[in-house]
Amino acid sequence: MIKKAIVKIVSLISILIVLSFFVFALLYLAPGDPAEKRLTSQGVAVTKEVLDAERERLGLLKPFLVRYGEWLVRVIRGDFGVSFKDDMPVAPKLYAGLKNTTILAMTSLLLSLAISFWLSILSAIRKNGIADNIIRLFSFIGNSLPNFLISVLLMYFLCIKIKLFPVIAKGNVQGLFMPVMSLSIPMTCRFIRQMRTEFLTQMKADYVVGMWGRGVKGRYIVINILRNSIGHIFTIIALQIGTLMGGSVVIETIFRWPGIGKLVMDSITARDYPVIMGFVIIMGTIYVVINQLSDILSHCMDPRTNL
């Protein structure tokens, strides 16, 4: 067990190093000059001498491998560097954005689970009935619509027509509603389809047929189905957490929610490479750690699965 844990930790570190190297290389090869972007945004006259001096100050004149090595050493020490945009430390920016993104992601996830869990059970139990057909129809439509289209539709009807909510999220509870709904609707529909499939698979299992044959009450059969489905459902949820944390960029940008997604989009526009690289490392770490924790917890719930 300890040997497997060590192997997994080494593999996680290797994945993050490879990921950071490729992203760093892409930023190095990408068009655009952070020094020129910074000087232009500040209204400074961009001459060759001034531009070279700014590049030297930002460390952009060093060879690629030297820059990457220095950055990697700083990150290992917990230092994500200084923003090219405003010379502020990157870490506080990332942590503040990560906090707001976590609030948005977890609220959306809990709301989606509260709705999809019961609807998927109802859909599976009433297979091919009226309730099942209605639930499947709306889940298909909701799962087919992209997040940005749902955001625009919600914004049009709830913000512009009815004026119930502000168009621009201000980081408060009222501003949280619109981005949460934009993330929750497609995620709920996706959960319904996945959970319904898992419940139907369990309902066809031999132990369920045997329980029906022995005259066991329906509620006890449902409890056993849920108990045997929980491992697979937990894996679905864990994977969705990683996707939510890194995939809410569009929603945060549309509603101007002050999360890490909006921060990185603004940083891409400003060629703020330290913030972008910090975002990649944090999101990569969250994603791989959640995946590994999902495997471990699934193994604990069902020792028959491989760790």
pLDDT digits (tens, 9 = 90+) for 130-188: 999 999 999 999 888 888 888 888 888 888 888 888 777 666 677 788 899 999 999 99
**Domains of the chain, first to last:** 2-90 (no CATH), 96-301 (1.10.3720.10)
Phi, psi of 230 (to 5 degrees): -60, -35
HSE value, Cβ hemisphere, 13 Å, CA-based, for 242: 19
- Provide the whole-model pTM: 0.82
Give the mean pLDDT of 191-220.
84
Q: Both ends of the chain: CA-CA distance in Å?
A: 9
Q: How far is it, in rounded angstroms, from Cα 114 to Cα 119?
A: 9
Phi, psi of 82 (to 5 degrees): -120, 140
Q: How far is it, in rounded angstroms, from Cα 131 to Cα 126?
A: 7
What pLDDT score does 36 carry? Answer: 82
Cβ atoms within 10 Å of 6's Cβ, excluding its own: 10
